[in-house]
Amino acid sequence: MSEAIKHVSDATFQNDVLDAEGPVVVDFWAPWCGPCRLLSPVLEELATEFGGQIAFTKMNTDEHPATPGRLGIRGIPTLVFYVDGQEVDRMVGFAAKPVLRQRLEALAAKASAG
């Protein structure tokens, strides 16, 4: 995995996501999940493309089940979009790169609108 995406855990979620300033995307995934494996390279490319505007993170739901449970994550992959620690959007399942790019552009716009 590239350095454009940071792995977060139950222990670091508060600091890395909820206390972060600006937009953050969290990819809730598991190694056995086929759609998660398809989504991963797409997110890598978008993380590079949106680097500096949006922070990208991943949480392995098998290794860190407390946070996904608390957030009501029922299926993976799930992408949760935050601005200044507040959830503003959520997507469940695989999505093509153009669809994700559109959601990320909207997220960046929400963040800059304040």
Active site residue ranges? 33, 36
Give the whole-angstrom CA distance, residue 5 versus residue 25.
10
Residue 77, preceding peptide bond in cis (omega within 30° of 0): yes
Give the whole-angstrom CA distance, residue 114 versus residue 108.
10
Q: How many CB atoms lie under 10 A from the CB of residue 1?
A: 12
Give the whole-angstrom CA distance, residue 23 versus residue 38.
23
* DSSP tag of 63: T
